[in-house]
Amino acid sequence: MTLADAGKARAAEGHWAFQPVKRPAVPVIDSAWPSSDIDRFVLAKLREKKMQPAKRADRRTLIRRLSFDLAGLPPSPGEVEAFVNSTSPDAYRELVDRLLASPRFGERWARHWLDVARYADTKGYLAGNQARLFTHSYTYRDYVIDAFNNDLPFDRFLIEQLAADRLELGEDKRPLAAMGFLTLGRRFLNNPHDIIDDRIDVVTRGMMGLTVSCARCHDHKYDPVPTADYYSLYGVFASSHEPKDKPFISDSIDPVQRASFEKERKRREDSLKNYEKEQYARIRKQVKRQTGDYIWAAHRATGVEAGKIDELARKSKLDPDVTRRWMSHLAKRRESADPVFAVWFALAKLDEKSFATEAKRVLAEERLAKASEAVRQTLGQAETLEAAAKALGKLCFEADEKQPMLREVVYSDASPAKLSDGDVWRIMEVAGKEGIRSRRRRFDEVEGEHPGAPNRAMVLLDKSSPGDAYVFLRGNPGSRGAKVPRRFLQVLSRGERKPFADGSGRLEMARAIASPDNPLTARVMVNRIWLQLFGQGLVKTPSDFGVRAELPSHPKLLDHLAAEFVANGWSMKQFIRSIVLSTTYQQGETAHAEYAERDPSNRLLWQMNRRRLDLESMRDSVLAVAGNLDLKQSGRSEKIENKSNANRRTIYGFIDRQNLPSLFRTFDFAGPDTTCGRRFTTTIPQQPLYLLNSPFIEAQAKRLVDSVQALKGEERIRAIFRQTYQRDPKDWELDSAELFVDQFVPYAAAWDRLAQALLVSNEMMFID
């Protein structure tokens, strides 16, 4: 072990994130403020700093906060009124349970995990006319939604995403869709090393907050992750493959659409097969027709350096591999008195300058008497050796069944002109390949886009012969170092590590990640959940718990939460419930202005942070208050940008990795090229410009006004306010709205503009 390695090992021994999770003692607090152990940890920390928490938020603020956090949607005016006026002591708890039980919960929380999983519906940039669509990406998205709605234990959730193919699933194969976590990443021009690196990164950073990919080219600079550990995991993924035929999950519900799909699929499949058959037959025939050219090239290549044979072949517009085959083939036939090639071999010895006169003498020699008469006659008419080669090739190519001796030169299985499918693809020109690719793409697209297509899972399967990987020195695949066994990371292993022995090792790796003994997994997930509910995590860097990460703001609380999470069966709903029921979560604003100077980022949780809605909640909320939100669940992704009539929840929007829509980029959507633990929050001019000029926003504003068309004047204004803000307008707001409507020209558009102004206001776009 080098001094650097020893230093890293010592750092790991003392680093908080690599230590086993131990349940800390809960602080004893003499106060009525705490309602849970969470509150006791928070209040103890505040008291250390001589600070006090804020009072409980009002009921309207709480129901809006809960609705956005748990469902991603605003409450209806009726729900707000019922909650605000309820006299039940359990009203808040009942509201929490109702939201957790809603199907909207899974749609909201699945999106957080899809950021981690770098979900997209396309592969990113690929050369040529290759299919860029992931045909069944949506089945992974739907799996994640169902997992949250059904409260799938988080440890099982992780295992299914890494190795569902290795589990006993019974008749229900839907969990296979979980493996989209691995397969839906970028395709890096189909570079296998980069694809595997991406999978290592999403697994280790996404599930454990550890930047293992930093060890691809050298030992990790800071964390105790040697390059050998990186290539141990590399071997796991290199021993897995994506099957050509994706496993079936379920059929389309609609039998009419199903029949339509089968008809269209058959049409495109026939088009592909027929075109492929034509192109492959064309290339095979072309190579056979070029037999004379290959014979001539093989003759010329005998006196050429091995390294220049490719150049010679390509200048003659021939395939180098087939040229070498002809060289080998002719060398073997030269050793016997070959009836077809004996004449050629004799002529090939002649000097080119005297070829025309010497050829007739050679052909009359007695030793060629047993040679093919047709060959002698044909080659006897040639003026040059090159002409003789091409004449011989043409003779063999055109030979019929009555000339078996000539025909076998080109058409037998032993002929150099016999091509495998791989040979044909290599030789085929760009236009032919592009024609096949475009038809394959259209065939794939019908699987992914037709509403009657069956649902399939984008899985990884173990290769029949899994193998260990070599360390790539400095990350270079062409420079191999030592061979390393497939096994788990040393820093997270106890005792002597055993190599993975079950196939590729994905299931063993998954179980090691999802183990209660893994010090990172539970900590990382509870921090991710805390981040979504409070706007910042207890650890600032949700995908990096390594040595360079900042200390948690509340280390004991973090370990308490992780221990509780595991002890309660890794239940995500129960864990979220425990947080939103805490008094800490229910805080409003503090009366102590000086706290902002002492703790400007509110790391000590002395009040609740005000947060801007993310893209999904913003767009879905506008649709919801306009009465235009389609709550249909699951199914294929739909393109939503620049479509004023697109009204499904944003989580079902089509994510084009290579051309991420400007709407998504403008509102800080998580870039799908790599795992994203936390979205940036920016304030840029494009945001208000979109809101003020978007046809989508205008369409929803008009729909909102239409929904209250029967009302007049003040009552219509009140109705729009209730629908938008779930409250009545204040007196000054009512006066301003009436003045605006009366003075706006043209009057007919005034109500639409009023509704639009409310839809894009801060009260709509922020959670208190």
Tens of pLDDT along 404-453?
Answer: 989 999 999 999 999 999 999 999 999 999 999 899 888 888 887 888 99
List, for residues 595-639, the tens digit of each pLDDT value: 999 999 999 999 999 999 999 999 999 999 999 999 999 999 999
Q: Which amino acid is at 36?
A: S
Burial 514-539 (b: 16+ CB within 10 A, else e): bebebbbbbbbbbbbbbbbbbbbbbb
Residue 401, classed as helix, strand or coil, is: coil
The pLDDT of residue 1 is above 60: no
List, for residues 660-669, the tens digit of each pLDDT value: 999 999 999 9
Domain boundaries, the chain: 16-104+535-598, 111-247+460-513, 290-419, 615-666+683-768
The pLDDT of residue 256 is above 80: yes
Beta bridge partners of 484: 469
Task: Name residue, tokens 């030269």.
Answer: 334
List, for residues 343-387, the tens digit of each pLDDT value: 888 888 888 888 888 888 888 887 777 778 888 888 888 889 999
H-helix segments, 32-87? 37-48, 59-71, 77-85
Q: Which amino acid is at 88?
A: S
pTM of the model: 0.86
List, for residues 564-602, the tens digit of each pLDDT value: 999 999 999 999 999 999 999 999 999 899 999 999 999
pLDDT the model gives residue 526? 98
Joined together, the tokens standing for residue 276 give 């492929």
Measured CA to CA, the distance from residue 750 to residue 148 in angstroms comes to: 43
List, for residues 23-73, the tens digit of each pLDDT value: 999 999 999 999 999 999 999 999 999 999 999 999 999 999 999 999 999
Q: How many CB atoms lie within 10 A of CB 392?
A: 26
Measured CA to CA, the distance from residue 503 to residue 517 in angstroms comes to: 23
Q: What is the 3-state secondary structure (H, E, C) of 555-609?
A: HHHHHHHHHHHHHCCCCHHHHHHHHHCCCCCCECCCCCCCHHHHCCCCCCCCCCC
Joined together, the tokens standing for residue 743 give 């003075």
Measured CA to CA, the distance from residue 455 to residue 635 in angstroms comes to: 9
Measured CA to CA, the distance from residue 640 to residue 644 in angstroms comes to: 8
Contact between 625 and 759 (Cβ < 8 Å): yes
Contact between 178 and 160 (Cβ < 8 Å): yes
pLDDT the model gives residue 340? 87
pLDDT the model gives residue 495? 87
Q: What is the DSSP letter of 461?
A: E
Q: Say how many residues make up the chain.
A: 768
- For Cα atoms 3, 4, 10, give the angle at the middle one, nearest 5 degrees: 90
Measured CA to CA, the distance from residue 490 to residue 495 in angstroms comes to: 9
Q: Which amino acid is at 278?
A: E
Contact between 497 and 508 (Cβ < 8 Å): no
Joined together, the tokens standing for residue 346 give 């004799």
| Helix H or strand E encompassing 395 | helix 385-397
DSSP codes of every residue in 296-332:
HHHHHHTTS-GGGHHHHHHHTT--HHHHHHHHHHHHH
List, for residues 201-239, the tens digit of each pLDDT value: 999 999 999 999 999 999 999 999 999 999 999 999 999
**Averaged over 518-538, what is the pLDDT?**
98
